[in-house]
Structure 1
């Protein structure tokens, strides 16, 4: 495969990965916002605590979606390590997401329903950028064998054809 063809293939694979991540993430956002608003309107939890609970519920939902849909073809051998890294990076995303809401609510005093949902959504967006990078880089790593096969295939496709050993050294008939 030519270099432009290989690049197109890699971009297509990345596009599918981003789309699958987006589907799971989009559903996770809906879960997050639904739980957040349900807790805000039916309990006496302070806003940021309600947001933290909603984020934890969404993290659990997203793990199942990422493991069994988005990254189902990735290495499954080290589940304990995978879950530990997933939780670690999810906690960093949780801090990013809820840090934005905390700053808007307690730093700027914007705690109305519309403002809290806006800053919750904005924080989710920032946290999602971090999560996408960290999950694909560290948590749901591609299988080494698959990478090796792709590298070998691209190497073989770039190599020039070698004459077969049967024909080497034998005179070839003239064709007119």
Structure 2
């Protein structure tokens, strides 16, 4: 039994059916939560140290690192039964869609900092940090997440190409079951 199946077996039935129906979205959200922590950890580390005067650059670097982790986790877990393109083609499409997500993610903190002047000395440091978090880690990330989920399902891991991966995953799962019996 996989980790997801173990967790789902403990969820009450009406909710379990909904979660099973939207399993890919649930897995995508778990990957998103993981990369959210990576993104914000790197962002705050950089913007409070070596890139203190360049918070947008720090955010861009953090997003790029989180995107690489996201590719691996999404390919091998969230969308493992989809896709089927050659890895280099799939990766190129993934990073192209992700680049669009990076741009979308950076627009709200850019507006917050440079159009609305929500930065020191115009506002208190706590107000600047709250504005950065809300605009970059909440609004920007949510907008980028919806764009990426749509783009990944549509172009990177399309279901019509998934037949090859599904048969491969099913045979891997069957071998794994035999090995644990």
User: TM-score of the superposition, structure 1-length normalised?
Assistant: 0.72
The number of equivalent residue pairs is: 138
Correspondence 1:133 to 2:150: yes
Residue 76 of structure 1, CA deviation: 3.1
> Residue in 1 aligned with 2:32?
25
Q: Could you list the runs of 5+ residues in structure 1 that have no partner in the other structure?
A: 1-10, 148-176
Q: Who wins on radius of gyration, i.e. which is larger? A: 1
Write out aligned runs for 1:74-113 (5 A). Answer: 74-111=82-119, 112-113=128-129
Separation (CA, whole Å) in 2 of partners of 1:52 and 1:86: 17
Q: Does residue 62 of structure 1 match 2:70?
A: yes
Partner of 2:136: 120
Shift of 1:14: 4.8
> How large is the Cα RMSD of the aligned pairs?
2.1
- Which residue does 1:167 correspond to in 2? none
CA distance in 1, matches of 2:162, 2:86: 15
Gaps of 5+ in 2: 1-17, 120-127, 165-181
Distance in 2 between residues matched to 1:128 and 1:16, nearest whole Å: 16
Q: What secondary structure, in the 3-state scheme, does the structure 1 residue paired with 2:118 have?
A: coil
Deviation string 1:55-111 (CA, Å, 9 cap, x unpaired) is: 001100100110111011223342121111111110000000001111111111113
